[in-house]
Amino acid sequence: MMLSGCQALVLECNHDSGLLDRGPYPARLKERIRGGYGHLANEAAARLLAALDNRGLRHVVAAHLSQQNNAPGLARAALAGALGCAAGWIGVADQEDGFDWRALD
């Protein structure tokens, strides 16, 4: 896979599927979000991460989190589960401030 061997990844974790299902959006919008040309769910981002050769990863940042249909803790938990690491190791990009610089040495 093209991303295997990366040292740092910023992955879209737009929504938690359960929150999206229970949320206020109309069914048509929910289907567009979860569709093949929609946004990446936490679970899909975790599957992608688990499929990579991720032994060299030094930084992982969850990005583009929906304010309505996700939470930083849910995104962190999904990605940490895929890597078998502590959830606190996963960074989260804030919609207003982004995330801090990361060093790759």
> Any idea where the domains of the chain sit in the sequence?
8-81
Interhelix angle 42-51/72-83, rounded to 10 degrees, is 20
What's the distance, Cα to Cα, between the start and end of the chain in Å? Answer: 23
Query: What is the reported pLDDT for 8?
Result: 95
> Judging by beta carbons within 10 Å of its beta carbon (0-12, 13-18, 19+), is residue 16 exposed, middle or buried?
buried
Q: Is the pLDDT of residue 1 over 80?
A: no
For CA atoms 32, 70, 93, 43, give the dihedral sign: negative
Q: In this structure, which amino acid lies at residue 8?
A: A
The more confidently predicted of residues 85 and 2 is 85
Q: How much is the pTM?
A: 0.92
DSSP for 32-52 reads HHHSTTS--BHHHHHHHHHHS
pLDDT-based confidence at residue 3 (cuts at 50, 70, 90): confident
Residue 105 pLDDT exceeds 80: no
